[in-house]
Amino acid sequence: MPNPVMSPVIVALDTPTMDAALALADKLDPALCRLKVGKELFTRSGPAIVQALQQRQFEVFLDLKFHDIPNTTAQAVLAAADLGVWMVNVHASAGYDAMSLAKQRLVDGNYDTLLIAVTVLTSMSSDILPQIGVTGNLNTQVSRLAKLTQQAGLDGVVCSAQEAKILKALCGTDFKLITPGIRLPEDNPDDQHRICTPKQALNDGADYLVIGRSITEADDPAAKLKKILQSIL
C-alpha cells in the first residue's frame, strides 16, 4: 500500500483513455496528491487503470457514485474495495438502507476503504433543484443528506465547499468533507455552479479538495498543483 499522503488535493483524472490518464499521472507526484478515477475513465479502462496508478504509488479515489438498491450498491462498493482503493462513493439519495448495508459489508470484511456519499452535485444550483422535485432550500437538502449519511455510518460526504461550515457544525470534525468545484480566482468555472477557492474551502472545514480541469488542462499540471498547494500554506 502507498504511504499516507498529507496533501488535501485529489486530482480528478477525467481523461478518455488510460494512456492519457497515465501520461498525466506521470507528471504528478504521489507525495503531493491523490488521484480520482471517475466514470468515463473507469468505463473505458476498467480495474487496470486503478492498478497502474497504485503501482505508481498513488492512492486512488474510485468515483463511480453508485446509486442502486441496497444489495447492488453494497456489492459494488465491495468490488471497489477489493481493488484496494483508498476511497469510494455512493449517492446519498440511494437512501439509508443502501448506505448502511454497504458500510456494514465493508466493516464485516475488514476493509479500510473509506466510504462517502454525494449530497447535492456541485454542478447544481438552487434554481435547478426543482427540476428533480426538490423545492426546499439547497443547504437544507445538503444538510439532510449529510445527516442521513452520518446516521448510516459512512465516513463523510461530497459537498460544495460553500456548505462546509454548516456541515462541520452539524456533523462534527471527524466526518470528512470532500469538496469538488474548487477553482483559483483566475480559473474557468466550467459546468460547476457552487465553487470556492482552495484556501477558503480549507478555512471553512473541507478535508479534501477534488480538482480536475484546473490542473489537468493546465500547460504544466505539476506547476499548477504546486501553485494550488502554495495558495493553501
Which amino acids are annotated as binding site for substrate, given as ranges? Answer: 14, 36, 63-72, 122, 183, 192, 212-213
Task: Candidates 42-50, 52-60, 98-106, 204-212: pick the segment binding ligand OMP (CB under 6 A).
Answer: 204-212
Question: CB of 141: closest distance to ligand OMP in angstroms?
Answer: 13
Contact segment (CB under 6 A) with ligand OMP among 80-88, 92-100, 117-125, 138-146 equals: 117-125
Q: Which listed residue (100, 122, 149, 150) binds ligand OMP by CB under 6 A? A: 122
- Phi first, then psi, for residue 159 (nearest 5°) are -150, 175
CA-nearest of 59, 67, 157 to 112 is 59
Binding mask 125-144 for ligand OMP (x = CB under 6 A): --------------------
Q: Is 118 in the site for ligand OMP (CB under 6 A)?
A: yes
Q: Which residue is nearest to ligand OMP (CB)?
A: 212
Query: Which of 211, 221, 225, 228 is close enough to bind ligand OMP by CB under 6 A?
Result: 211
Distance of CA 69 to the CA centre of its chain: 21
Whether residue 65 lies in the annotated active site: yes
Under the rule (CB under 6 A), what is the footprint of ligand OMP?
12, 14, 38, 63, 65, 89, 118, 121-122, 158, 180-181, 190, 192, 210-214
